[in-house]
């Protein structure tokens, strides 16, 4: 459909089938007034309720010549284009500035450092994340831009990534490809049962306000594309443990064949190398741990020395950041893929549940 419902048990943009475009922005809250923060979150909630239904907030051309337009205008007449906007709070929001310390979920802490991290301050940290996804990039950007505009004097933009192609799939979507040319999202979380087990925070959480919410991990991952492009195909297969065109596990023939991590070849070695990306990340080899991957391909053009600056804006959702941490502790130290990627940005955010009805707003339970 063209629009996704805004109100509901969970925020949209998580179980929603990934749209084609992303604008991800992280804000620093500059005010120390809890009331100003509250007003901003209430304004954002009301505005997002409108934007996601294809409606504007304020007019593009006010009647009075001296009035400033309420809406910036670039998405006028474009419709909702499947827009979803998802909001999350970083650990820093619970440091006491706004009286939220007692509401800090025990599991919400800055991520630990991982082996092979190459984080830069330009793409790390911040207080509030906003993920806008849509089938049209201008519609996604319009929403973020106008939220930033509304936040002026209360919050400033800290970092942003624009994603131009989805790199994950839901149950009934074809699997897209990441910029390494491999199908990405083949074995992703699908279905309500798996979402309940692995993604949504249950009523057993230490913070009741998080019931129905989830935790978002963002990692801006730069790909060393030139190096990757000189690697021979057999090695590319070994890096992921899958084939490139079909996306089949090296132990099988078709994309959705279940990988057989125990299969060995004539040389006695594992058919799916033990240090391949999928062997290290698969739930079979991680005590059943799964995460919802909902990442996007990005490019920032070329870097200061003329190399392609591109990669994967990795976004995952899980009911406990420990799920991501356990996987990345393994991947960061053992993954063959590390030769070709650098994690340059990072953030972790508590994503509250969906809003109930008009008048509800993000973080209402915390004021």
Per CB under 6 A, residues contacting ligand HEM are 178, 180, 182-187, 219, 221, 223, 240, 242, 259, 277-278, 281-283, 291, 293, 311-312, 314, 324, 327-328, 331, 341
Residue 81 Rama label (left phi>0; alpha psi -120 to 50; beta): left
**Considering the complex, what minimum distance in angstroms separates the CB of residue 114 from ligand HEM?**
9
Q: Output DSSP code: residue 50.
A: H
Kindly tell me which of 155 and 218 has the beta carbon lying closer to ligand HEM.
218
Residue 227, both tokens: 């190096």
Kindly tell me which of 21 and 293 has the beta carbon lying closer to ligand HEM.
293
**Considering the complex, what minimum distance in angstroms separates the CB of residue 180 from ligand HEM?**
5
CA 111-116-122 angle, 5° bins: 60
**Considering the complex, what minimum distance in angstroms separates the CB of residue 199 from ligand HEM?**
13
Give 238's contacts (C-beta < 8 A, 6+ positions apart): 250, 273, 276, 336
The SS3 call for residue 39 is helix
If you search the block for the tokens 């004097």, which residue do you land on? 153
For strands 296-302 and 214-223, give the pairing. Answer: unpaired
Q: Rounded to an integer, what distance in angstroms lies between the CA atom of residue 111 and that of residue 363? A: 22
**Considering the complex, what minimum distance in angstroms separates the CB of residue 326 from ligand HEM?**
9
**Considering the complex, what minimum distance in angstroms separates the CB of residue 235 from ligand HEM?**
14
Kindly tell me which of 331 and 366 has the beta carbon lying closer to ligand HEM.
331
Own/partner contacts of 224-228, CB < 8 Å, gap of 24 or more, are 224/339, 224/340, 224/341, 224/342, 225/179, 225/180, 225/307, 225/308, 225/310, 225/311, 226/307, 226/308, 227/339, 227/340, 228/180, 228/340
Kindly tell me which of 123 and 314 has the beta carbon lying closer to ligand HEM.
314
**Considering the complex, what minimum distance in angstroms separates the CB of residue 323 from ligand HEM?**
9
Q: Rounded to an integer, what distance in angstroms lies between the CA atom of residue 358 and that of residue 360? A: 6
The SS3 call for residue 279 is helix
Q: Rounded to an integer, what distance in angstroms lies between the CA atom of residue 161 and that of residue 314? A: 11
Kindly tell me which of 104 and 319 has the beta carbon lying closer to ligand HEM.
319
Kindly tell me which of 103 and 240 has the beta carbon lying closer to ligand HEM.
240
Kindly tell me which of 97 and 342 has the beta carbon lying closer to ligand HEM.
342
Kindly tell me which of 136 and 335 has the beta carbon lying closer to ligand HEM.
335
Q: Rounded to an integer, what distance in angstroms lies between the CA atom of residue 188 and that of residue 165? A: 17
**Considering the complex, what minimum distance in angstroms separates the CB of residue 237 from ligand HEM?**
11
**Considering the complex, what minimum distance in angstroms separates the CB of residue 165 from ligand HEM?**
13
Distances (CA, A) of 190 to 11, 22, 152, 362: 17, 20, 38, 26
The SS3 call for residue 325 is helix
**Considering the complex, what minimum distance in angstroms separates the CB of residue 324 from ligand HEM?**
5
**Considering the complex, what minimum distance in angstroms separates the CB of residue 284 from ligand HEM?**
7
The SS3 call for residue 56 is coil
Kindly tell me which of 1 and 287 has the beta carbon lying closer to ligand HEM.
287
Bridge partners of residue 219, in order along the sequence:
314, 346
Kindly tell me which of 18 and 354 has the beta carbon lying closer to ligand HEM.
18
């Amino acid at each position: 459909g063209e629009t996704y419902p805004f109100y509901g048990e969970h925020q949209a943009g998580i179980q929603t089938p990934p749209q084609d475009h992303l604008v991800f922005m992280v804000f620093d809250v500059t005010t120390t007034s809890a009331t100003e923060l509250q007003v901003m979150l209430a304004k954002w909630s009301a505005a997002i309720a409108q934007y996601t239904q294809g409606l504007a907030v304020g007019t593009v051309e006010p009647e009075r010549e001296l009035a400033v337009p309420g809406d910036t205008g670039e998405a006028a007449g474009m419709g909702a284009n499947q827009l979803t906007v998802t909001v999350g709070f970083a650990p820093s929001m619970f440091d006491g500035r706004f009286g939220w310390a007692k509401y800090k979920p025990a599991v919400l802490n800055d991520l630990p450092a991982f082996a092979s991290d190459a984080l830069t301050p330009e793409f790390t940290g911040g207080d509030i994340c906003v993920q806008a996804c849509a089938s049209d990039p201008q519609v996604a950007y319009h929403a973020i831009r106008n939220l930033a505009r509304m936040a002026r004097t209360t919050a400033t933009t800290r970092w942003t990534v624009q994603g131009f192609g989805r790199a994950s799939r839901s149950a009934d979507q074809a699997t897209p490809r990441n910029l390494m040319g491999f199908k990405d999202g083949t074995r992703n979380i699908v279905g309500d049962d798996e979402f309940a087990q692995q993604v949504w925070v249950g009523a057993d959480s230490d913070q009741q306000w998080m019931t129905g919410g989830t935790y978002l991990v963002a990692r801006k991952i730069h790909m060393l594309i030139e190096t990757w492009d000189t690697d021979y195909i057999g090695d590319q297969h070994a890096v992921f443990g899958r084939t490139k065109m079909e996306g089949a596990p090296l132990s099988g023939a078709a994309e959705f064949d279940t990988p057989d991590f125990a299969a060995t070849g004539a040389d006695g070695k594992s058919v799916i190398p033990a240090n391949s990306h999928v062997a290290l990340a698969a739930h079979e080899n991680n005590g059943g741990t799964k995460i919802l991957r909902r990442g996007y391909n990005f490019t920032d053009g070329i870097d200061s020395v003329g190399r392609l600056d591109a990669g994967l804006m990795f976004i995952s959702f899980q009911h406990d950041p420990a799920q991501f941490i356990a996987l990345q502790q393994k991947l960061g130290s053992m993954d063959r893929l590390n030769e070709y990627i650098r994690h340059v940005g990072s953030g972790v955010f508590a994503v509250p549940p969906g809003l109930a009805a008009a008048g509800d707003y993000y973080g209402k339970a915390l004021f």
